[in-house]
Amino acid sequence: MHKLNADDQKGDIMDKIGWNFSDSFTVLPEYLFSYTEPTAVDNPSWAVINESLVNELNLNINHLRSDHGLAILAGNKIPERTSPIAQAYAGHQFGYFTKLGDGRAILLGEHLTDKGDQIDIQLKGAGKTPYSRGGDGRAALGPMLREYLISEAMHGLRIPTTRSLAVVTTGEQIIREEALPGAILTRVASSHLRVGTFQYVKQFGSIDELRQLADYTIERHFPHIKDVSNCYLAFFKEIVERQAKLIAKWDLVGFVHGVMNTDNMAISGETIDYGPCAFIDKYEPTAVFSSIDEHGRYAYNQQKPVAIWNLARLAEALLPILAEKKEDAVHGAEALLGYFSEMYQKEWLARMKAKLGFFEETEVELQFIEDLLNLMEKYQADYTDTFRALTLDDYGRQEWFKTDEFNEWFQKWQAKLSAQSQSVERIRELMMSYNPAIIPRNFRVEQVLDKAVEEGDYQPFNQFVAVLQNPYAYTDEQVTYAELPPETDQPYQTFCGT
């Protein structure tokens, strides 16, 4: 491992690529991070690179694709003006508190874009860190491609998320249940500050350090509240609101995160840490896909209550700075935890009404929604295809559309839509804006991953990612990807990849 020098760079490869790194996180207490260099790999090569994100970050794709760019994203060379770190944090994992940290992820730095945005550039799978807890610090190609695909699909669905800049293979085998090809994901995030970061400082630091962390986070993510009378209570309110809107958006597209530990909840309100995640096919509110979630703690219908539980843990960490008197701090935090449900319901209901073509705001629409969801659960209806069918007036793919119960609901729904002042075209446009034509169907994800990992054929993967960029386009190219999954007796399971 060595720094890129002038001879290596032939004029500063950092400037040529367009990197503009800072390391503001290191102003925080030293126990929150460790300076850590990636472990060099044998024979790195490109798997995929996200050209649209490269452009958004104002980077030069040609220089990033160079051997020097590959060496940086493989962790083989550390650019000048960077001080890579691994971050420390704590977390409640399946309800149990533990000390954690980046066990296989290393933050290269914070890239400053032309717009002034401060973006974390992190290498995931880059080797051991002080927080590896006996792990090898490496990642397998399949899970890294999976995170790349799902995170980019979530971005296409207009859901706040970390992004994926690239995946490089390492030329090495890593050992899990079997030997697997190794890879490193370059993850992009507005930050990697987590609920668990604040839990860590509350547990192992001082109140002054807790205030320092909060001030840093406010400056980075919520600068508009710096001068309010109680900025820390306002800070907690901002987090609650962002999380409520995020979870509502997950639920509306049938996304199941799978491992909502407090260390996997980002303060920024972005979806982070794509491990055993999946999308529901049949509408089963209790759906669980993670192989390790034996009791359904993180089931589809538990994401809202778990988010509130996680935010309660954040509130406990913030209590010393929320108010001078503990009772005032508790009262303020409890009120804002109640505010979560209000914000979730507001976001969920507004978007669900749009999914059904309702422009009006009356109490009647909620009954239409509840009746439909009850029928979908009863008949095990495909969630995404049901809303797609309603949008396109295409009812040939699911047998339950032939039932008397659906027909009764459908006639009432049509009468309600007809009573609106908007045209049929405007109603359809609204529904198409909120009902995706495609999602990353679980069986499709597995197909393209198998092709890439087992055969080295990335064409199906790249094609799938491309059509997922705009899932609301309803193009001819997307029709194939909108097909229903094959019937199977085997429940779909996902694995965390560590």
Q: How far apart are CA 381 and CA 108, in angstroms?
A: 45
445 belongs to a structural domain: no
Residue showing tokens 């094609």: 463
468 belongs to a structural domain: no
Q: How confident is the model at residue 490 (pLDDT cuts 50, 70, 90)?
A: low
| Spatial contact of 189 and 163, defined as CB atoms under 8 Å apart | yes
Q: What is the pLDDT of residue 291?
A: 76
Segment 154-190, tens digit of pLDDT: 999 999 999 999 999 999 999 888 899 999 999 999 9
Q: Is the pLDDT of residue 489 over 80?
A: no
Handedness of CA 387, 298, 152, 55 (dihedral sign): positive
441 belongs to a structural domain: no
Residue 54 bridge partners (DSSP): none
403 shares a domain with 322: no
Q: H helices within 379-471, ranges in order?
A: 383-392, 404-418, 424-434, 442-455, 459-468
Q: What is the pLDDT of residue 10?
A: 43
Domain count, the chain: 3
Q: Which bin fits 245, alpha (ψ -120 to 50), beta or left (φ > 0)?
A: alpha
Residues in the chain: 498
Mean pLDDT, rounded, for 450-468? 97
368 shares a domain with 226: no
Q: What is the pLDDT of residue 306?
A: 97
290 shares a domain with 169: no
Three-class DSSP category at 121: strand
317 shares a domain with 181: no
Q: What is the mean pLDDT of the chain?
A: 93
Residue showing tokens 């970061």: 197
| Spatial contact of 75 and 104, defined as CB atoms under 8 Å apart | no
- DSSP E strands: which ranges in 281-439? none
- For residues 457, 460, 466 and 468, what is the CA-based torsion angle, rounded to 10 degrees? -130
Q: What is the pLDDT of residue 253?
A: 98
150 shares a domain with 49: yes
Residue showing tokens 């001030």: 215
Q: Which bin fits 254, alpha (ψ -120 to 50), beta or left (φ > 0)?
A: left
Last residue of a domain, one of 133, 164, 191: 191
Q: Is the pLDDT of residue 20 over 80?
A: yes
469 belongs to a structural domain: no
14 belongs to a structural domain: yes
136 shares a domain with 102: yes
Last residue of a domain, one of 417, 434, 451: 434
Q: What is the pLDDT of residue 498?
A: 53
Catalytic residues: 263
Hey, how many other C-beta atoms are within 10 angstroms of the C-beta on 234?
17
Tell me which range, 80-89, 304-313, 358-367, is most confidently predicted by mean pLDDT: 304-313
Q: How far apart are CA 488 and CA 241, in angstroms?
A: 39
326 belongs to a structural domain: yes
Residue among 171, 153, 173, 174 at smallest CA distance from 163 = 153
- Name the CA radius of gyration of the chain, rounded: 23
Burial class (CB in 10 A: 0-12, 13-18, 19+), 170: buried
154 shares a domain with 211: no
Q: How far apart are CA 328 and CA 183, in angstroms?
A: 49
Q: What is the pLDDT of residue 266?
A: 98
Residue showing tokens 């220089």: 63
226 shares a domain with 178: no
459 belongs to a structural domain: no
| Spatial contact of 244 and 307, defined as CB atoms under 8 Å apart | yes
Segment 333-374, tens digit of pLDDT: 999 999 999 999 999 999 999 999 999 777 778 889 999 999
Provide the residue range defining the domain that includes 165. Answer: 2-191
| CA distances, 355 to each of 158, 421, 422 (Å) | 15, 17, 15
Q: What is the pLDDT of residue 11?
A: 45
Q: How far apart are CA 240 and CA 341, in angstroms?
A: 10
Last residue of a domain, one of 353, 376, 407: 353
173 shares a domain with 137: yes
For residue 378, give the H/E element and its range.
Answer: helix 364-378
CA angle (101 as vertex; 156, 212 as ends), nearest 5: 90
Mean pLDDT, rounded, for 58-84? 93
Phi/psi for 78 (5° steps) reads -100, 120
Q: How far apart are CA 291 and CA 177, in angstroms?
A: 14
Structure tokens given for 154? 């979530």
Residue 77 bridge partners (DSSP): 2
494 belongs to a structural domain: no
291 shares a domain with 163: no
373 shares a domain with 319: no
Q: How confident is the model at residue 135 (pLDDT cuts 50, 70, 90)?
A: confident
381 shares a domain with 348: no
Least confident range from 6-15, 56-65, 72-81, 323-332: namely 6-15
| Spatial contact of 265 and 250, defined as CB atoms under 8 Å apart | no
